[in-house]
Amino acid sequence: MKYGIAFFPDKKIQDIANSYRKRYDPHYALIPPHVTLKEAFEMDDEGLSQANSHLEKVSREIAPFLIHFPKLSTFHPTNNVIYIAVEETEAIKSLHEKINSGVLFHERRYAYIPHLTIGQEMPEDELHDVYGSLRMKRFELSTWVDRFHLMYQLENKSWTIYQTYLLRGSSE
């Protein structure tokens, strides 16, 4: 089965993201706006049990933290994706690294860039037009990250939550 790990920003940020996603993201109906912490991966039942133990441990080590979404950016020319950037902090970097260790370690094709996708699989001309019209917009959005989710993909390609992990570490 295919799994992934992400967190969802607050409703205000999801509403803003969806105002763009419904036009520019063909995956709009498959998953709510999210920030990926681990790309999709295959796992069997035994792996799932080990992953669950690993993620429980991670959730006890990381305290809730605030993140900021300051601006729009793109992965072009590597991928035709437009996203709202997440300001990279030690907290999100640590959460990502701890999740992607141990039984969930896999080599990544790309460096981790925390982001919230608002457009993808766009023709190059459309990407340049949309990005050109939106790139000067300042978002100045913030949300608390106090949980993350292990999700799995259904047969219709949509994603649903399998398990939620509350961040319970102490903030020092």
Q: Which residue among the candidates 54, 76, 115, 128 is catalytic per the annotation? A: 115
Which amino acid, one-letter code, is at 170?
S
Distance CA 92, CA 145 (A): 9
Q: Which residue among the candidates 27, 34, 54, 128 is catalytic per the annotation? A: 34
Cα dihedral value 24, 25, 28, 31, nearest 10: -150
Active site residue 54: no
Which amino acid, one-letter code, is at 18?
N
Active site residue 149: no
Cα dihedral value 168, 30, 14, 53, nearest 10: 0
Name every residue whose Cβ is closer than 8 Å to that of residue 120 and which is 6 or more positions away in sequence: 24, 25, 26, 27, 79, 80, 81, 82
**Residues marked as catalytic:** 34, 115
